[in-house]
Amino acid sequence: DDFRAGQQALSNRIDAVQALLKQVQEAAKDAAQQGASMQEVVVMNARIEELQV
């Protein structure tokens, strides 16, 4: 049961990170389309890379 609970917690955490990654990617895309400054795009891309590790 402890193993199952641990597996479920890990699965939930992975799902949460994937959802956050999708939000960050969408925000980066929107910012780029709206002509955001290059610095903002670089920061968002860095956040995406951190989440993908």
In this predicted model, what pLDDT tens digit does every residue of 1-38 receive, in sequence order?
899 999 999 999 999 999 999 998 898 888 877 776 77
Q: How is 10-53 classified by DSSP, letter by letter?
A: HHHHHHHHHHHHHHHHHHHHHHHHTT--HHHHHHHHHHHHHHH-
Provide the 10 A C-beta neighbour count for residue 28.
Answer: 19
The domain of 9 spans 2-52
With the C-alpha atoms ordered 7, 11, 16, 21, is the resulting torsion angle positive or negative? positive
Number of domains the chain is built from:
1
Q: What per-residue confidence (pLDDT) applies to 41?
A: 79
pTM of the model: 0.57
Check whether 53 has a pLDDT greater than 80: no
Q: Using a CB cutoff of 8 Å and minimum separation of 24, what contacts does 7-12 make?
A: none
